[in-house]
Structure formats: C-alpha cells, structure tokens
Amino acid sequence: MLRFRNLEMKPKKSLVAHCWSGKQNKPSRVQISLTYENQRTYIDLLHEDVPDRDRDKINKGWKDYFFEPLKNFMEKSSGV
C-alpha cells in the first residue's frame, strides 16, 4: 500500500508529494506537472528516489493504476 504526503500543490499546475510503501525507509518524491498547450493538457510525472528493487513494479503501477484509468476516463468524458 502506498501512502502520500502532499508537500506542495499549485491548482491546475502541479503536485509534489512524498510517497512511500511499508518497505521503504526513506520516502520517494513524486512530482506531477500539468501543461496546457494547443488545446491539450500534458501530464509530466517525475518519481525520484525509487529503490532499484521496486522500479519495475512502480513503473507498472503508474501505468496500470494511474495513466490507463485516467486515459479511459478522459476518453469516455470527451466522447473520443
């Protein structure tokens, strides 16, 4: 189970948080930035200080539990 502690929020711009699981002694740092350009919103994700042993699992988790559901939601909402 991942836990987050928000460090900084800029509405419609970015979120910076510490993220950790029960296995980590030191939290990792997650930064999600939003950029609106040419009628599109771009999401940049930077996840730092991820233990090497967890890197593949965490990358898969971001894809499976964050980006794919967000993409599906946005497609259904916009009628694409």
Give the mean pLDDT of 3-13. Answer: 86
Q: Rounded to 5 degrees, what are φ and ψ at 22?
A: -65, -20
- What is the structure's pLDDT at 23? 67
Angle, CA of 45, 8 and 33, to the nearest 5°: 25
pLDDT band at 77 (very low <50, low <70, confident <90, very high): confident
pLDDT (tens digit, 9 = 90+) per residue, 11-63?
989 988 887 766 667 888 899 999 999 988 899 999 998 888 888 998 999 99
- What is the structure's pLDDT at 46? 93
Residue 52: which domain range? 3-78
Number of domain units in the chain? 1
Report pTM: 0.73
